[in-house]
Amino acid sequence: MKVTDDSSPLCPVARALTCVGDSWTLLILRDAMQGARRFDEFQRGLGIASSMLTRRLERMVSNELLEKRCYQRHPPRYEYHLTAKGHDLAPVILTLYRWGEQHLPIEADGFRLVDRRTQGPVEPILYDRCHDRPLSPGDVCLAPGPDANPAVHARVERMRNAFERGDFPDSQPAAARADCRAAMAASDSINE
């Protein structure tokens, strides 16, 4: 990937993707979050070529997603531990998990996401901490910051036009929010 667009370095999504924009990196993070630490644990869990794994672990260390900890000298051997930065990608992984479960279903049921204490089901959704309520992606939009360049303004403008054209299915405020509350109430009563 070689991005040349003006607005790219300003966009947090583009910046995030230079760090975690490939499958292996995210799968390594997944396994690290499941407790994998050593080279061969990752290799077995992923079926990745060892040369690739070496390259990826190195890049992840240099991007500060993982840190090396020596657990043996002669020969020097390292464990790869998640840093706080790496750990903070957990919401991304969980969100992907949920999407994969919903939209790429398979017949088999191999994994379940559960509450650690109760072992009951868990359903991660987005929530807006500022307004203290569930967040529909349609509730949100982009605004230019003080350092916005013309490309950023064009983006913001285009998004507003799209909204005015009615392109956003989940941005009918009242209905969407009512649905959401109803769904929450329903799932609550099911789980009671």
| Binding interface with DNA (CB under 7 A) | 1-2, 4, 22, 24, 38-41, 48-52, 54-55, 57, 74-75, 77-79
Prior bond of 121 cis (ω within 30°): no
Q: Which is nearer to a second copy, 74 or 112 (CB)?
A: 112
Please tell me the distance from the alpha carbon of residue 135 to that of residue 5, in angstroms, as a whole number: 29
Determine, following the binding rule CB under 8 A, whether residue 61 of this chain makes contact with a second copy: no
Interaction pattern, residues 82-111, with a second copy; x per rule: CB under 8 A: --xx-xxxxxxxxxxxxxxxxxx-x-xxxx
Please tell me the distance from the alpha carbon of residue 117 to that of residue 139, in angstroms, as a whole number: 33
Helix/strand/coil for 68? strand
Q: Which is nearer to DNA, 61 or 180 (CB)?
A: 61
Q: Are 37 and 81 contacting, i.e. CB atoms less than 8 angstroms apart?
A: yes
| Binding-site partner at residue 55 among DNA, a second copy, none, CB < 5 to 8 Å by type | DNA
Angle of CA points 112, 113, 117, to nearest 5°: 115
Please tell me the distance from the alpha carbon of residue 40 to that of residue 55, in angstroms, as a whole number: 14
CA 11 to chain centroid: 16
Determine, following the binding rule CB under 8 A, whether residue 53 of this chain makes contact with a second copy: no
Q: Which is nearer to a second copy, 75 or 108 (CB)?
A: 108
Restricting to residues 114-173, name those near a second copy by CB under 8 A: 114-117, 119-132, 134-135, 137-149, 151-152, 155, 158-159, 161-163, 165, 167, 169-171, 173
